[in-house]
């Protein structure tokens, strides 16, 4: 069991050209981290609100997942990034996180963004409501995507399934108090679950940026501004153990 987990967050914008995103992935993922997290929809941006993205959906063994796994293997790391995955309804793909490297997995976004005037469910299919937790360098890492962050029950299910770290790739849209919502919810999920939370957002101008990493007592460990940026942070298991000793709220639950 590793005492530390080296995490790198790439707050990068995805382009409308999937080939350009694959090339950037191959060039930008380098060694030195155990876990590299890129934003939601990094394989290809959503485009204008309500756009049909079905033409850009790929299988889990398609070009983007292959490029991600190759980059992860060459850098000896694990990479998490978002893509659109072909679904049973070809007109409404899944919004999927793909994991490449020593661990290979995927997570289909459960909660679609039918909020703040948007209707993601018109263009995408929601995944089955099952938590996905993967092992990375001896740590248990749970997966969520963007709007999932507003549903505390999913984070709790991930922690109940063993997650010590929850990663949240996002393309968080701007609006009144939206940055405050994003940062507050990241911290809240960390505090209430006494776990680490890693938020990786796409930057301005289309999205808000402000990626951040929080510790299990809600302490800010790293934070980005609005533009493109890369965060480096080391998570320490001692902090997790001490937080759960100090605040044993998971053990104190009465269900």
pLDDT of 233 above 70: yes
Mean pLDDT value of segment 196-200: 99
Assign domain 4-246 to its CATH architecture. Answer: 4-Layer Sandwich (3.60)
Q: Over the stretch 140-155, which tens digit does the pLDDT of each residue have?
A: 999 999 999 999 999 9
pLDDT at 255: 84
Assign 106 to helix, strand or coil. Answer: strand
Quick one: tokens of 62? 């398609």
pLDDT of 8 above 80: yes
Sheet hosting strand 35-37, strand order edge to edge: 105-108, 94-100, 78-85, 35-37, 4-11, 229-236
Region of residue 159 (phi > 0: left; psi between -120 and 50: alpha; otherwise: beta): alpha
Q: Residue 58 and residue 83: Cα distance in Å, rounded?
A: 8
Show Cβ contacts of residue 100 under 8 Å, excluding neighbours closer than 6 positions. 65, 68, 69, 70, 71, 72, 73, 78, 79
- What residues are labeled active site? 40, 109, 146
For the chain, give the percent of residues with pLDDT over 90. Answer: 98
Q: pTM for the full model?
A: 0.97
Show Cβ contacts of residue 203 under 8 Å, excluding neighbours closer than 6 positions. 11, 12, 13, 209, 226, 227, 228, 229
């Amino acid at each position: 069991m590793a005492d530390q987990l080296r995490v790198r967050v790439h707050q990068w914008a995805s382009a409308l050209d999937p080939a350009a995103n694959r090339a950037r992935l191959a060039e930008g993922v380098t060694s030195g981290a155990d876990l590299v997290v890129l934003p939601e929809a990094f394989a290809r941006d959503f485009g204008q609100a309500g756009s049909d993205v079905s033409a850009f959906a790929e299988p889990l063994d398609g070009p983007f997942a292959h490029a991600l796994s190759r980059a992860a293997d060459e850098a000896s790391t694990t990479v998490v990034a978002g893509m659109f995955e072909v679904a049973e309804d070809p007109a409404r793909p899944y919004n999927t996180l793909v994991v490449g490297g020593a661990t290979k997995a995927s997570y289909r976004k459960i909660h679609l963004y039918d909020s703040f005037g948007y209707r993601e469910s018109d263009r995408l299919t929601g995944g089955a409501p099952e938590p996905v937790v993967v092992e990375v360098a001896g740590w248990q890492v749970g997966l969520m995507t963007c709007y999932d962050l507003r549903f505390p029950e999913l984070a709790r299910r991930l922690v109940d399934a063993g997650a010590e770290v929850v990663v949240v790739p996002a393309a968080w849209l701007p609006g009144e108090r939206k940055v405050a919502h994003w940062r507050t919810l990241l911290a809240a999920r960390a505090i209430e679950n006494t776990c680490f939370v890693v938020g990786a957002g796409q930057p301005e101008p289309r999205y808000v940026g402000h990626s951040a990493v929080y510790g299990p007592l809600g302490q800010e460990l790293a934070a980005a501004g609005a533009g493109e940026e890369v965060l480096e942070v080391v998570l320490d298991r001692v902090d997790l153990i001490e937080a759960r000793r100090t605040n044993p709220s998971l053990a104190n639950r009465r269900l």
